[in-house]
Amino acid sequence: MKHEGQRNSNWDSSALEEDARLKDHRPHRRGAKTFRRGRAIAFLERLHTKRSTLKKQLETPELQTIHPILVGELKATESIIDEFIQLFEINEHEETAETKESEK
């Protein structure tokens, strides 16, 4: 009789083999394909909106006194957008398709 702490060695090795086999057949990082993908795209759209707003503010004469601050925020926002796209492997085609779906 085996103690509760002991495992069946046949089960362990077959489970490990199955694990290794599955890892070999899984597709490598194909982007944000979970239900959170929509949230990621929505957040990216908000970042694009913020970037557009900052660009408009740079052209506004009343805001020329804070021009350096706006330029810094614009650069930071663009950096965040670039990192976000790279991190979640979002391509422009996916982004555009999500935008069109959300507008319906």
Cα 63 from chain centre: 33
> Residue 32's pLDDT band (boundaries 50, 70, 90)?
very low
74 and 55 in contact (C-beta within 8 Å)?
Answer: yes
More confident residue, 13 or 83: 83
Q: For 77-101, how does the pLDDT look when each residue is reduced to its tens digit (9 = 90+)?
A: 999 999 999 998 888 665 555 555 5
pTM greater than 0.85: no
Checking if the pLDDT of 65 tops 90, the result is yes
54 and 70 in contact (C-beta within 8 Å)?
Answer: yes
Checking if the pLDDT of 103 tops 90, the result is no
- The number of helix segments (H) and strand segments (E) in the chain equals 4, 0
